[in-house]
Structure formats: structure tokens, C-alpha cells
Structure 1
Amino acid sequence: MAQTAHSRNCSASRPRSSARNRLPLVDWLALARQRRLLATLDADRLDDIGLTRDEALREARRPFWDRG
């Protein structure tokens, strides 16, 4: 069945799920959550991921907009 111009335009305007097209707010919220959780890890878990307590706390204190 042939697509009409209208249906092609509608499908093209749907949001895509790729990370490139997501809103920065979604990424910021995820990053803030990850940093909060990082601060709660015990010494064994930090050792598993190769971080010291000081490194984990330093990362956790970074602002959510600081992605560097």
C-alpha cells in the first residue's frame, strides 16, 4: 500500500529514541541519580569498579550538568 504524504510526514515527526535526540534534562536526571548512588556504594563495590571512597565522593559532588 502506498504511503500518503500525510502519513510520511507524521512518521517522520515522531521522536526517536537515540541518545543524540533526547532532551538534556533526561540525561541530567540520570546522571544526578547515578552520582547519588555512587556515593552510597560500600568499599567492596567501589573496589569492584576501581574507585576509592574519595574518588567516588568527588564524583558524587559534581553538579549534574558537568558531564566532563
Structure 2
Amino acid sequence: MARDGNGHRVYDAEAVRRLVFLTRMRRSGMPMRDLQHYISLSMPEGTRCRRGSMRWSNIATPSAAGSVS
């Protein structure tokens, strides 16, 4: 994962769009199991998410969903 001069992770525009989409789906009531299934279907062949790399509790927060348009 790329990091800036302060050690913060740097995300590309596609990753931010995906996070905003998933945040909105979670806030709409989509179950976690369905979100995880969607992610597995949308990932390129041969790639995997690191287990625990995404904190789902943070995805459901209003500040996360409203910070990116």
C-alpha cells in the first residue's frame, strides 16, 4: 500500500469510488454477507483481499459516507 510523507495510506480514485459505493450499500441495510459476496465477485481474477484489511464497522459511519461525493 502506497503511503504519503506522513505515513498515511494513499488511495486511488477507483478505490475511493468503491469504498463510497460499499458505504452507501451498507448504510442502506445490505447485509455484510452480501457485501462480502459482491466484493468477491467484483475483484479481478487471481486477486484476494487480505483478511481483516477492511474495517467494516468504519464503513457504516455517516462521516465515511458523506465525506466523498
- Scaled to the shorter chain, the TM-score interval is 0.3 to 0.5
Q: Which has the larger radius of gyration?
A: 1
When normalised by structure 1's length, the TM-score is: 0.32
Q: Give the TM-score taking structure 2 as reference length.
A: 0.32
